[in-house]
Every structure is written in C-alpha cells, then in structure tokens.
Structure 1
C-alpha cells in the first residue's frame, strides 16, 4: 500500500515519471487499489475546485490524512456541508480521473514513438517500424521500413493533405518526400509537409528542430524550408538546418549547391558550399562564416560535436539525444563554453569529460540530470 500511496502522491503533484506511470497502471488492476485511487484523486480535484478553500489545510497534509490506515474521505473531517456538496462529485470525478489516467498513460507511452498527424486530426503511431498506406488498387502511397518513411510519386497525383511528422527525443528518422527530396530529422524535431506536391508550385515545408535536407533539383519549383527564425530557399542542394525553439540560435549550413537564407526585415544571405549562416535570437543578428560541414552533419552518424558552445545549449542537445531532462541548480553554469567531440558516449561519460575542464557536480536519475 505504501508504494501505491507514494505513486498517487507523485501523480497528484505532477511529479510522476513514465516508469512510475507504468507501475501505477499495473497496481490499478486491483479493484481495491482503483477505489483508493479514485478517492485520493477525487479529493484532490475537490481541493482544486476550492470546495474547501476556506480552510487552511495544505493539500499535502490533507493527502497525508487519506493515507491513515482505515481512513476514508469522511475521516478527514472538513466541514460537512462542503462534503455534502461535493460527495457525488468526488465519486464521479474519481471515475473521470481514472479514465483520464488511463488515457494519459497511453499518450505518454505513445510519445516514445514517431508519429504522423494528418490534416484530419488522425494520428498514426509508428510502433513496429512497418507502416503502409495503399490506394484502392493496392498501390503503395506511403511506406515505412525501419527508420525510413517513403512517399511514392503517386502521392503527387491523389488528394494532397498537410501532415506533421514528430520525432521523439532519443530517436532519428529519415523521410523521403513525394518529390524525391530526402530529409534526415534529428531527435525532438517536427516536420510539417504536404503528402504530395503540385506541378509548377513552390515546394514548402516547416521545420521545428534540426534536419539535413537533400533537395531534389527542380528549377520550376523552388523548395523552401520555413522555421520560426529563418527561411531557407533552394532549387536543389544539400544543407543542414537547425532551428530548435529552445536554442539561442538557428543555423543553416550548406554542403552542396546554393541557398538563400531569409528573415523578415533582414537582407537575404546567399551561401556557397562550406558556409554557414547563423542567426542569434538574443541580438537579432545574422553572421556568415566558412565552416567544416562535417561538424554540422555528424549527428546523422551518432556523433556529437560542440565548438565553443554554451553548456546551456549543449544541455539542450543532450536532452534530445538521451531523452532526459537536465536541470541546472546554478544557472551561471549554462554560460560556460566547451569544445568537444563524442562518438557513441553515454551521458555520464560526456558530463564527466566536461567536468575535467570545469568543476561542477551532477547527479543522474532515471529521467533527470541535476547539474550543480
């Protein structure tokens, strides 16, 4: 019972992990445990709705009361008139919360998988690395094999819809679009794209995160990658584009061909192979530089390369790669800068390496890293 009480308290306080959710779901197969869960969560809901807001009991203290052996809602003894008002609601909301928990648990598990959300609102969860969409005549429109999703050219000839491909932290995906362009998506990224492209119309996609693009050459149909920070326009080329929301910058690095990098109210920047355009969010400025493109495409081979990057931005990269939340107890540490390269190293080995250059402490839990 103590384990159940502990997990319910974490659930109510919003501190429960995916692993805890799985364990709680297992415990709730018991009818007795389900009843206990309904009572605890129902009481929490009542408190949040302020049925007992005129009282001074702390929520955790009230929850502690329910853990007393043999206690029930009435044993907590808030004023009876509040209990009469809320009595039916506690039972009803307990049931609703149990349903919500089951649904929440499913969604949490699904977040570990690559998903495709269609324009209709339906979501395909790609769990078993084998997914297909066929025409009525059994011709393949979309096919997944392993980590690669391919749209056939037939997709250009049927009804075109907007899709959102989401890549969870800890995973990478390759998508071949209907025009023949190929995009390697890094972990924690989203790509909004059409299922097909119309003739003589600009090809446009929206990126949140990081992707390496190999764009199929078509002079009549420019290819534009939009993001919240920058737009990159090409005819046919290969480039890496990084535009994560929580990074302090956005970069476009050209490997082959020619691209135009655009931002509203800024002059268009044209890149030649081996050049990078970097936009700083804090200063609202553009900079261009010659770079080693291998540094910016190494992530496709599981290699992490950092050049004079702040520990804050490095932490964002590690969060996505290892699917762990990183918390800084000392915010000033985020400003420290490092240059390093790691091939298939664990997060502990990476942090230990940084620790040799700058003295800090860290602690790794199941889903969390605390740096102090």
Structure 2
C-alpha cells in the first residue's frame, strides 16, 4: 500500500473511493492489518512529537521512521498515553457509499496532559484522567469525538461540517471556535466554557434542554438544568500549561480536583476544614505531597497515605 495514501487517510484527506481501497486492503490479510496499525502508531508519534507536516508524507525515510519510533517510545514512557485503533463506530459516506472507519482512543494518565491535532487540523489539549475517541477520518458533513474527561479545543472552521463533542451528559456543537469541556463521568459533572466563537450545548435525549453560549460564558449542569454564568477566572484553564489554579475554592473541592489529577482517593476525615476557602496554584508535575505540604501552611491538618489502596487520609 502506498504510504502517501495511508498518511492522507490518517489525515482525512481522501475520497470515499480511497477510503474503500484502504479498508479493503487492510482486511485482505492479517499482515496488512498489522502494517496499518504500525503506520498509524508512527503517524501518532509524529503528531505527538510535533514532526508532522503535509510535505513530509512522501519523504519519510527508514532513518526517519526509526527516529519516529524512538520518539514514540520516549513519549509513551514519559507521558504513558495509550494510542490505538479500537472499535469500528463511525460511518463515512451515505447509502451504498457507506464506509466503516476505525476509532482512535487516547487515554491520559494521572498527572499528565497531551496535545494533539485531529484529522481535520483541530488542536486539542487533553487533561489528566481523560479518554477521548475520534475516527481516523471525519465524515464530510460532520465531525464527532467522544470525550470522558476534560479537553480544550481549538476547532478548525468548516461551515459545512459541524464539530460535535459527545459526553456522558451533554453534546457540544460548534463550527469553529475555542472552548473547554469538563465532563468526567466518574465525577458526574459537566461544564462547557467558551473563549471564542459560538457553541450550542444540548442534551442528546431532550431537545428542549439546550443553550447557545457566547464568548466569556460557561454553562454548568446543575440538578439536571443548564445554568449559564460569566467566566470569572481564566486561570482555571491553565491546566494546559501544567498548572492547577483555584480561586476562592473550598478545601473539599480542592481535594476532589487533586483526586482527578493524581488518580487516587482522598478521604477527608477532618470535616471542620472542608469549607475553608483558598486561592492558589500548583504545578501538577511537582506532585501531590508537595501540594499538600503547601496547603498545610494555611490549613491545619495531617495526612497519611495508604500506598496499598491508593488512599490519602486527611485528619
């Protein structure tokens, strides 16, 4: 299979006929399927390492491929993301031209974040504990991703193809804009914040539950209602820079956020400090122990870590 065609397929720059050709070739033998997955991983590595340019597709030498393999392994060991072709969930085309397309899945572990470009050029930052699925090639009339966690999107404008973020609670639909979505299913929360452009937030099960956001506004799902309010602090979106920022936030809520970032359970046994209001910021890479030591300068508490069960007890 021509490598230029494969890389255009990964970028979404192919016709329906070319998609069929790649699909038929990949399913023709187990070896072809393995080769497709291997080339996809190399392509992902180049994206994550920031080495993908359209002009590079046809000039990738074996020397460069080996370099990209090393880059991929280095990134995988440092960031611990898992990138792979998983399930066939989306369809490309209509009627008899329908073509099934495999989904990419990216999972970001605790304490890390990932930046990548989607097949249409949309740039996405993924926060810690986030899982996102997207097709190797978007449909012509719509672009859909599935998000469980937090992500910041800079969507490439395409009036003929709306960009849709599906979450456990709400869908977010845009044409081209900058926005943040926090929708961790385990925490049962949903919040969408708009920085630029215009977005529509709607329930997939109730057409009447929908709001249109303008810049500098956010909507939060509270008691099964979408509540719109002003964005009063943009520092909270600096997680893209590796910072956890909080302003006038209760101690208990801060502990919940630290649970998300470090993927463990924090049990607050000292209830008297739950509502202490704090403002500050931490570099996530400094670790949980550092954050707790700094917080102890303003709040009186001790803590004990149960390493066997990944639980922190606050007393």
TM normalised by structure 1 equals 0.55
2:217 — aligned with what?
A: 275
Unaligned segments of structure 1, at least 5 residues: 1-119, 121-131
Range moving further from structure 2, 289-298 or 163-172: 289-298
2:43 — aligned with what?
A: 142
1:371 lines up with 2:314 in the alignment: yes
Kindly report the root-mean-square deviation, in angstroms, between the aligned alpha carbons of the 2 structures: 3.5
Larger Rg: 1
1:338 lines up with 2:280 in the alignment: no
Work out which of the residue numbers 105, 127, 148 in structure 2 matches 1:186: 127
Deviation at 1:222, TM superposition (A): 0.4
Deviation at 1:224, TM superposition (A): 0.7
> Would you say the 8 A contact 1:327–1:370 is kept in 2?
yes
Deviation at 1:250, TM superposition (A): 1.6
SS at match of 1:327: strand
2:23 — aligned with what?
A: none
Deviation at 1:293, TM superposition (A): 5.8
State the alpha-carbon separation in 2 of the partners of residues 341 and 243 from structure 1: 23
Deviation at 1:242, TM superposition (A): 0.5
Deviation at 1:286, TM superposition (A): 2.1
User: How many aligned positions are there?
Assistant: 235
Range moving further from structure 2, 264-273 or 162-171: 264-273
2:175 — aligned with what?
A: 235
Unaligned segments of structure 2, at least 5 residues: 1-26, 28-36, 58-91, 94-98
TM normalised by structure 2 equals 0.64
User: Which structure is higher in RCO with an 8 Å CA cutoff and minimum separation 6?
Assistant: 2
Deviation at 1:191, TM superposition (A): 0.3
State the alpha-carbon separation in 2 of the partners of residues 202 and 326 from structure 1: 41
1:220 — aligned with what?
A: 160
Q: 1:1-372 alignment to 2 at 5 Å?
A: 133-134=38-39, 142-145=43-46, 147=48, 160-199=101-140, 201-247=141-187, 249-263=189-203, 264-265=205-206, 266-280=208-222, 283-292=223-232, 294-330=234-270, 332=271, 335-336=274-275, 338-344=277-283, 345-364=286-305, 366=307, 367-372=310-315
Deviation at 1:187, TM superposition (A): 0.8
> Would you say the 8 A contact 2:210–2:226 is kept in 1?
no
SS at match of 2:45: strand
State the alpha-carbon separation in 1 of the partners of residues 134 and 253 from structure 2: 27
Deviation at 1:218, TM superposition (A): 0.5
State the alpha-carbon separation in 1 of the partners of residues 276 and 265 from structure 2: 20
